Amino acid sequence: MSGVLQRLNKISINKPMKATLEFNLPEDQNEFEYATKGSEMFLILWNVKQEYRKLMKYHDLTENEYKIVEALNDSLHEDLQHHGINLDK
């Protein structure tokens, strides 16, 4: 095996990756909040999606009410998809 291949074999591909975000506070306060509250925002969006689903599946909605909830659900899904966000991971 060549020296390059031997060195490559010693590199662990499974090493955990790290990322560091830096903010200049207070100027970047909004960006800091977005970054640090991402999991909370994710859970809120997931809950909204589940509420839409429950309304359509388990509640006795009129046809018009169903169409409104369905349109809201579809709009949320399209926006999430447009931004590469998958709530089902």
The pLDDT tens digits of the residues spanning 25-35 come to 999 999 999 99
Model pTM score: 0.68
| Residue 9 CA: distances (Å) to CA of 18, 28, 79 | 21, 42, 43
Reported as a pLDDT band with limits 50, 70 and 90, residue 13 is: low
Contacts of 23 (CB under 8 A, 6+ apart): 29, 31, 32, 35
Helix (H/G/I), strand (E/B), else coil: 33 = helix
pLDDT at position 6: 65
What local confidence, expressed as pLDDT, does residue 18 receive?
Answer: 87
Under the banding of pLDDT at 50, 70 and 90, the label for residue 17 is: confident
First to last CA, the chain: 40
| Half-sphere exposure of residue 49: CA atoms within 13 angstroms, side-chain side | 17
Tell me the average pLDDT across 8-17: 68
